[in-house]
């Protein structure tokens, strides 16, 4: 069955135009143009007064992640269903092998969990340790399993943290394979040191969380990863950039011609660090995530990074833990499972605080919510673009529609919302996933298992550019007679 989305303004990263959009029964966009005729049996969606945009892609989620002694409460079905309710039609989640666990075994486990997803998905794979089997498995993942990005945690000492040796080995191997390395940038050794010091001082509540992870800790790790990537001549993507220090490291590197990308979370753009001083443990602990929320000053820098193009993507790091799970750290903030939700809210928060404030144009909104992610992770223009032949992942957006975000009404399987009470203007009216109407005017019709795994080919276009740049700088031996 096909859909005809009629009378809207199509917004792509590069242009906006009045056009109808027709989908076909294979889940692709068949045509984009003026006054398209409806094929027999087509369902017509009235998009008068609305924007018709690529569905959001959230490049950073953790559905049902086993983490810090518990498991994230939103699974691949409930989490992707919530995403669809918010206009996000694809996630890139993370396979996180335990140290010494085979990467392929972990990947197969995550693929099994994700079969129930209601929206399309793909995986970054974390490299948490190193030996020859990891080197080999990275090759298998890229050549046979559609993986083109690897993740490295520079924090979480005694768990999944990578030392520099792993970073150097993995970054080098990824480059051979045409895959992008990503990092969670926080100096885990310093975090560990500060955590112990704070606990010894008697600071054991959630206020200890940001104190143990100050911006310098993030700035140091971001800069270290950037410099390692620079020496190796490889591209780098830094996840959840939360502070001026990390952004400055990215900006400096980009100004020096280095290919470094930065991601910012909707939460870091609008939630500030006063939440950790709330006397209610439940409230403060619900905001414990890493890196932590920062002061308003950092938020303004992050917005400028996004507007100026030094941060290219927005995400959520959706990793939900409910009150009983957070209670594990009642007497010790280091035991509070790190993570918050937001996959359903990101697009609305970005529109309300980005487009309605004049920080972003609708086209820039598309860039930072889908198109840039699709380009960086080599999915473009299959995803992140409204054009004939692309996947029919579409959101019909009412720029004047309003809503109050609340845990009482959201679809995310978490008993808290970090955007609670925020009145947003600009909401999804219809979400279309692979040509199927899965959310319409408040009615969520997500289907368990309807999401598909999306292969991402290696060698995104910037690899070729970087190969050329590296060749000009290649080391040469001196020829002696």
DSSP 328: G
DSSP label at residue 377: T
Interaction between residue 184 and Zn ion (CB under 5 A): yes
- Residue 286 lies near ligand URP (rule: CB under 6 A): no
- C-beta closer to Zn ion: residue 74 or 317: 317
- Rounded-to-integer distance, Cα 267 and Cα 286, Å: 13
Do 56 and 86 meet the contact criterion of CB atoms below 8 Å apart? yes
Site for ligand URP contains 265 (CB under 6 A)? no
Contact 170, 162 (CB under 8 A): yes
Nearest approach, Cβ of residue 173 and ligand URP (Å): 22
Q: Residues in contact with ligand URP, total (CB under 6 A)?
A: 8
Query: How deeply is 172 buried, as exposed, middle or buried, from its count of CB atoms within 10 A (0-12, 13-18, 19+)?
Result: middle
Which one among 161, 253, 289, 438 touches ligand URP, defined by CB under 6 A?
A: 289
Nearer to ligand URP, 99 or 449 (CB): 99
Residue 236, interface with ligand URP (CB under 6 A)? no
**428, 86 Cβ separation under 8 angstroms:** yes
Instruction: Compute the least distance from the CB of residue 289 to ligand URP, in Å.
Output: 4
Choosing from 273, 317, 344, 415, the residue that interacts with ligand URP (CB under 6 A) is: 317
State which of positions 329-348 bind ligand URP (CB under 6 A).
338-339
Residues 99-128 that bind ligand URP (CB under 6 A): none
- Interface residues for ligand URP in 27-66 (CB under 6 A)? 62
Retrieve residue 263's tokens: 């991601």
Closest to Zn ion by CB, 8 vs 292, is 292
Q: How many C-beta atoms lie closer than 10 Å to residue 116's C-beta?
A: 18
**Nearest distance from residue 302's CB to ligand URP, in Å?**
16
Of these partners, Zn ion, ligand URP, none, which one is at the site of residue 339 (CB under 5 to 8 Å by kind)?
ligand URP
Write down the least CB distance from residue 270 to Zn ion, Å: 17
* DSSP string for 198-230: HHHTT--STTHHHHHS-HHHHHHHHHHHHHHHH
Query: Which residue, 261 or 397, has its beta carbon nearer to ligand URP?
Result: 261
Q: With binding defined as CB under 6 A, does residue 209 bind ligand URP?
A: no
User: What is the pattern of x (binds Zn ion, CB under 5 A) and - over residues 400-419?
Assistant: --------------------
CB of 47 to ligand URP, least distance (A): 36
Interface with Zn ion includes 294 (CB under 5 A)?
Answer: no
Helix (H) or strand (E) holding 469: helix 461-472
Name residues whose C-beta falls within 8 Å of residue 442's C-beta, 6 or more positions apart in sequence.
none
User: Min. distance of Cβ 130 from ligand URP in angstroms?
Assistant: 20
The answer to whether the beta carbons of residues 18 and 9 sit under 8 Å apart is yes
Q: Is 40 helix (H, G, I), strand (E, B) or coil?
A: coil
Stretch that binds Zn ion, among 158-166, 260-268, 313-321, 418-426 (CB under 5 A): 313-321
| Minimum distance from residue 62 beta carbon to Zn ion (Å) | 5
From ligand URP, Zn ion, none, which one binds at residue 206 (CB under 5 to 8 Å depending on kind)?
A: none
Angle between helices 132-144 and 164-177 (to 10 degrees): 30
Task: Identify the residue among 75, 120, 245, 317 touching Zn ion (CB under 5 A).
Answer: 317
Quick one: DSSP state of residue 353?
I
367 HSE (CA, 13 A, CB side): 18
Q: Which residues of 472-481 are buried (b: 16+ CB within 10 A; e: fewer)?
A: eeeeeeeeee
Question: Does position 412 bind ligand URP by CB under 6 A?
Answer: no
Identify the sign of the CA torsion 375, 378, 383, 387. positive
Give yes or no for residue 208 binding ligand URP (CB under 6 A).
no
Site for ligand URP in 178-207 (CB under 6 A): 184
Q: State in angstroms the smallest separation of the CB of 62 from ligand URP.
A: 5
Rounded Cα gap, residues 469 and 264, in angstroms:
28
What SS3 class is residue 167?
Answer: helix
Query: Strands, DSSP E only, in 97-235?
Result: 120-126, 149-153, 180-184
Q: How far is the CB of 213 from ligand URP (least distance, A)?
A: 10
Kind and range of the H or E run holding 61: strand 56-61
CB of 153 or CB of 439, closer to ligand URP: 153
Contacts with Zn ion by CB under 5 A lie at: 184, 317
Point out which residues bind ligand URP (CB under 6 A). Answer: 62, 184, 289-290, 317, 319, 338-339
């Amino acid at each position: 069955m096909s859909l005809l989305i009629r009378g809207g303004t199509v917004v792509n990263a590069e242009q906006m135009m009045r056009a109808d959009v027709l989908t076909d029964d294979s889940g692709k966009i068949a045509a984009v143009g003026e006054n398209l005729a409806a094929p027999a049996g087509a369902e017509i969606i009235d998009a008068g007064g609305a924007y018709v945009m690529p569905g959001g892609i959230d490049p950073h989620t953790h559905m049902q992640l086993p983490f810090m002694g518990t498991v994230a409460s939103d699974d691949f079905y409930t989490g992707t269903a919530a995403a669809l309710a918010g206009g996000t039609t694809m996630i890139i989640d993370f396979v996180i092998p335990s140290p010494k666990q085979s990467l392929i075994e972990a990947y197969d486990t995550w693929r099994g969990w994700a079969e129930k997803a209601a929206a399309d998905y793909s995986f970054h794979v974390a490299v948490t340790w190193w030996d020859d089997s990891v080197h080999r498995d990275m090759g298998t993942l890229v050549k046979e399993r559609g993986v083109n990005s690897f993740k490295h945690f520079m924090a979480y000492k005694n768990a999944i943290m990578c030392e520099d040796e792993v970073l150097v080995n993995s970054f080098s191997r990824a480059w051979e394979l045409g895959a992008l390395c990503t990092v969670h940038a926080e100096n885990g050794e310093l975090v560990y040191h500060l955590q112990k010091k704070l606990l010894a001082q008697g600071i054991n509540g959630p206020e200890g969380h940001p104190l143990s992870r100050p911006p310098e800790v993030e700035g140091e790790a971001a800069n270290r990863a950037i410099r390692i990537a620079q020496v190796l001549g490889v591209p780098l993507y830094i996840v959840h950039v939360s502070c001026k220090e990390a952004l400055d490291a990215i900006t400096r590197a980009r100004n020096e011609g280095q290919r470094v990308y930065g991601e910012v979370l909707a939460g870091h753009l609008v939630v500030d660090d006063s939440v950790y001083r709330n006397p209610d443990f439940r409230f403060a602990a619900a905001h414990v995530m890493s890196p932590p929320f920062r002061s308003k000053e950092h938020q303004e820098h992050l917005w400028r990074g996004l507007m100026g193009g030094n941060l290219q993507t927005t995400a959520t790091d959706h990793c939900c833990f409910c009150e009983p799970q957070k209670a594990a750290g009642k007497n010790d903030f280091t035991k509070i499972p790190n993570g918050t939700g937001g996959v359903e809210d990101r697009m609305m928060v970005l529109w309300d605080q980005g487009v309605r404030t004049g920080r972003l144009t609708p086209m820039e909104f598309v860039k930072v919510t889908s198109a840039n992610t699709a380009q960086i992770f080599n999915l473009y223009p299959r995803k992140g673009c409204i054009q004939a032949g692309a996947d029919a992942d579409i959101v019909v957006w009412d720029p004047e529609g309003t809503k109050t975000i609340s845990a009482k009404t959201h679809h995310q399987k978490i008993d808290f919302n970090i955007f609670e009470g925020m009145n947003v203007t600009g909401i999804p009216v219809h979400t279309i996933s692979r040509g199927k109407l899965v959310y319409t005017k408040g009615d969520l019709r997500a289907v368990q298992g309807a999401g598909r795994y999306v292969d991402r080919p290696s060698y995104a276009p910037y690899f070729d550019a970087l190969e050329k740049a590296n060749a000009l700088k290649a080391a040469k031996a001196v020829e002696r007679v």
